[in-house]
Structures are given as C-alpha cells and as structure tokens.
Amino acid sequence: MSTPVTPRRARDAAATRGALLAAAQRLFGQKGYERTTTREIGVAAGVDPALIARYFGSKADLYLAAVAADRIDDREAAADADALEAPLADLDEVARTVLRRTSAHGPGPLLQSLVRADASPEIREAAVARLVRRMVEPLAAQYGATGADRPRLRAELAVAALLGAGLGHSLGWFEELGAADPDDLAALLVEALRPPG
C-alpha cells in the first residue's frame, strides 16, 4: 500500500517576502539589529527563517531592505524585490536615482550605513555589496563597452561622486548645490562623468 502524497502548499513569493519585511521592520525597530535574530523574524512572519537567505541574502541585507522600505511611501513598491534590488541600467539612471532619492528622503539607510561609525561591519559589507551590484557593476560594463581604460575604477569614482553630490545636496552643504533641482544636478554629473567616446 502506498502512502498518499500530501500536496505542497504553493508559496506566494511576494506575500512571503512582504511578511518577512514587515516582521523585520517591527523587530529591528523594537530590539535593534544586534538583538534581533533571523529565527525571531521568521517566526513573526510565519515562515521558515531560512527563507530570509532566499529572498534577501542575509540578515544585514534584510535590515537594509527593511530600513529602505520604511522610507518609501508606496509599501507595495517596497515589497517588490525589483524596486530595491535590480541593477540600474546606466550612468543616467544611476545619477537620477541617487539625486532624486537623496533629495526626497535625505541620506538613505544605505548611505548612512557607509558613513556612520556605529554601523556594524556586517551591515556596511551588505551596503557595499548592494552598491556594487546595483551601480558599480552596470557602470563598469558601460565604461568597458566604450573601451575606456580602468572601467571598474571609473565606475567606483562615478558612484562615489554621485553619492557625495547627493549627500551634499540633501544636507545643503553649498548654497547652489542645496538649491538645485535634482534632475539638473543629475544631468550635470552625467555630463562630467560620461564615458569617453
């Protein structure tokens, strides 16, 4: 006699990801990063904690996503993996994204985790990895396609310049920089950083 096969319940990836994100926001807000465990997040979300690795990569990546999602007005967009994780297409898109976000929200969690002395090394590494994946690698490919020398270095310099300009704009370091339209700043930066050729 054969044992009946129990059908597996279909997993709703968007719902699971959203539940993990909501639980992480609540628990990180209550207990902080260090005192919150992935097990607690999984239990609060009603899913296997191992799914954190599947949907976010690591606890530090989930933390960055949770903090970033908390700053985005449209919660559905925040729960969409593509909205926060997809590589940006080119220098124009990187510049517009950085300048618009820092103008609208100030220095975001990713930038803060890079510059704050109290950020844990794990969060800082996750922030750098996200910057590399979303911005540096696409720009390095763009610079490389033009035949520019040292495309990776050029891409890293471009991202550093864009983040610095976004930070200066949002904090009003200089009179004209602070008052400028983010799209105008993005266009000026793209002109200065455009790949040769």
Q: Where are the domains of the chain?
A: 12-85, 87-197
As its CATH architecture, domain 87-197 has Orthogonal Bundle (1.10)
Q: Which CATH superfamily is domain 12-85 in?
A: Homeodomain-like (1.10.10.60)
Quick: pLDDT tens for 10-43: 468 889 999 998 998 888 878 878 889 999 999 9
Do 87-197 and 12-85 have the same topology in CATH? no
Distance separating alpha carbons of residues 153 and 42, to the nearest angstrom: 39
Work out the percent of the chain whose per-residue pLDDT is above 70.
85
Residue 154's pLDDT band, with cuts at 50, 70 and 90, is very high
